[in-house]
Structure 1
Amino acid sequence: MLGFIIRPPHQLLSLLLCPGLRIPRPSVLCAQPRPRAMAIFSSSWELPLVAVCQVTSTPDKQQNFKTCAELVREAARLGACLAFLPEAFDFVARDPAETLRLSETLGGNLLGEYTQLARECGLWLSLGGFHERGQDWEQTQKIYNCHVLLDNKGSVVATYRKTHLCDVEIPGQGPMRETGKVGVVRGGDVGLAICYDMRFPELSLALAQAGAEILTYPSAFGSVTGPAHWEVRDPPFKTQGPPTTGPRAPAVWPLVHPHRPVSS
């Protein structure tokens, strides 16, 4: 089985945040209420919050962190227990050389700032796509596209290195290459995936059959590749749910895309 699933702190209600003129704008996306008692009191529902934070990254890692931290703190203020950040939340470089230069290890300064942020805010953080230098960095100069999950104490609970790597050639914009890296596998309740992984239904099926109730696809698609994946995708997504005789269907798909306009 490919992918990574992990147990979240609660059943979830989604909250959407985005930096509009540097002011986060909340909007309810979907609710998955769970009764606390079996139909004794029909008004008794558990509705914790999950924040889905939308950002547009730049090569400035500190400015990106400042923007993300503002959204995470606002999510915590509004009562969220878990906040999702998109793929490439740490930075989007101008060229491959800059990508290599700006990348860090999981023990580097930037992830340290996010662990401190999780502790400060007391919520879980899904860091959707971190440019990770692997243990073989000195020999290979290669990086991983790594989805990192932090708990509310700032501890790294889970890491998932992107399995399906995207190579694309866009006319007038040049090539984009991700091939040459590897993926890892684990288990839980939230299925961790990244971006282009959504094109491969076997991954979603494996996660759902392993017990995942939420499938996450933090993504950094551009203006050309984004519409091709976010629009008219209902039939493909139907194939990514579990069979009707199998486990429960995933509750939500937080498709966190930093470059898509968001309405409040």
Structure 2
Amino acid sequence: MRLIGHKTPGLPFLLRRFRPYLCNCTMAQTKKIRVAVAQMTSINDIDANFDTCARLTEKAAGEGAMLMCLPECFSFIGAESLSIAEDMDGPIMLRYCELARKWNIWISLGGFQEKGENDKHMFNTHVLVDDLGNIKTKYRKIHLFDVDVPGNKIFKESAFTASGTDIIVADSPVGRVGLTICYDLRFPELYHQLRFQHHAQILLVPSAFTKITGQAHWEVLLRTRAIENQCYVIAAAQTGKHSENRESYGDSLIIDPWGTVVARLPDRLTTDIVLADIDPSIIDDVRTKMPICEHRRPDIYEKKKD
């Protein structure tokens, strides 16, 4: 684990010079690839949140990260989420695309308020932007957080958010990434599809876990998804008090395919980033020595009863 301290002179230029070669390499050909995961406290101020994301992204680029991962609701958290939702070519998203282009870095925008098909519902959308500032792909959150959390706190995400229907993966300089969001983490079948049907190597889990559910389940669920799918898991987290009525757990993590936490901030409430190097040889080694892909029995799992 390495916390951010300063920019490395000349490194962004070198990455821009050689990134076309790196992007065309397979993971088996490429050595370790640096990624950054953010932790922040978004509020109901679009400009303030962008300033925080811009500062953290600059740090990540300066340290040679090829992918920067921001949490769910990175651009806005507040009761007005539905009213500020916009299309993918709107001014909020364009600012973040320009940020990726400026620093020549891929950005995982963990959960964006995308305008829905009617005025009553939006989509909670994970957007992957490449280093030229182009939207590579987007994933609309499938599992919506309709939950009665212990302590009489009731959440009803479906009241203002429509569910997505597509499983999304994308090739990137750090490998083949599977896109998910927060509450998706509790549904292993989605991650099994990403790994065994769509060949994901890295699972992105941007989140805004509640404090209570985070204390109970956050790390154990993330490590489980890494172990059972033999993938890296990168989980960018919201943290702290967003308002009087909302608080997130924090604890941004990067976990390797053996289930080992390889990067985390020392304080789960701080706003900062932490770095780790994705090592393709670890993925290959774990999958070769324990070939669960070959041992799976979908013929039995999916057998229909008469």
TM-score w.r.t. the length of structure 2 is 0.64
Give, in whole Å, the separation in 2 of the partners of 1:236 and 1:221. Answer: 17
Q: Which residue of 2 aligns with 1:219?
A: 207
Indicate whether 1:86 and 2:86 are aligned. no
> Is 1:192 equivalent to 2:179 in the alignment?
yes
Do the aligned residues in 1 keep the contact of 2:6 with 2:62 (CA within 8 Å)? Answer: no
Contact 2:112 2:127 in 1 (8 A): yes
2:238 corresponds in structure 1 to 258
1:205 aligns with 2:178: no
Contact 1:197-1:203 within 8 A present in 2 as well: yes
Give me the whole-angstrom Cα distance separating, in 2, the residues matched to 1:63 and 1:118: 18
Tell me, yes or no, if structure 1 residue 99 matches structure 2 residue 81: yes
Summarize the alignment of residues 63-142 of structure 1 with structure 2, pairs less than 5 Å apart: 63-93=48-78, 95=79, 98-134=80-116, 136-137=117-118, 140-142=119-121
Give the letter for the 1:146 counterpart.
T
Q: CA RMSD in A?
A: 2.6
Pairwise CA distance, 1:16: 6.1
Equivalent-residue separation in structure 1 for 2:212 and 2:153 (angstroms): 12
Separation (CA, whole Å) in 2 of partners of 1:103 and 1:234? 29
Q: What does the per-residue CA deviation read over 1:94-124, in whole Å, with 9 as the maximum and x for residues that have no partner? A: x3xx121222221111101001111100010
The one-letter amino acid of 2:74's match is: F
- Alignment counterpart, residue 134 of structure 2, candidates 155, 163, 170: 155
1:228 maps to which of 187, 191, 216 = 216
* AA aligned opposite 1:49: R
Assess, with a 3 A threshold, how the Cα gap between structure 1 residues 145 and 240 changes in structure 2: closer, same or farther: farther
Contact 1:16 1:52 in 2 (8 A): no
> 2:222 touches 2:233 (CA, 8 Å); kept in 1?
no
- Hey, what's the Cα distance between the residues in 2 that align with 1:124 and 1:236? 26
Q: Give the superposition deviation at 1:170.
A: 3.6
Greater helix share, 1 or 2?
A: 2
Aligned length: 216
Measure the CA separation in 2 of the matches of 1:211 and 1:224.
33
- Aligned partner of 2:245 in structure 1 is none
- Greater strand share, structure number: 2
SS of the equivalent of 1:145 reads strand
CA distance in 2, matches of 1:46, 1:238: 20
Evaluate the alpha carbon distance shift between residue 16 and residue 128 of structure 1 in structure 2; reply closer, same or farther with a 3 A threshold: farther
TM-score (norm 1): 0.74
Q: Does 1:168 align with 2:150?
A: no
Contact 1:192/1:215 (8 A) holds in 2? yes
CA displacement at 1:257 relative to structure 2: 1.2
Aligned residue for 1:58? 43
The residue matched to 1:76 in structure 2 has which SS? helix
Structure 2 residue matching 1:164: 3-state secondary structure: coil
Which of 124, 145, 163 is residue 182 of structure 1 equivalent to? 163
Deviations 1:189-232 (A, max 9, x none): 10000001111111111100121000111000121121222144
Return the letter of the residue paired with 1:58: I
Unaligned regions of 5+ residues in structure 2, if any? 8-26, 171-175, 240-249, 252-264, 268-306
Partners of 2:100 and 2:131 within 8 A in 1: yes
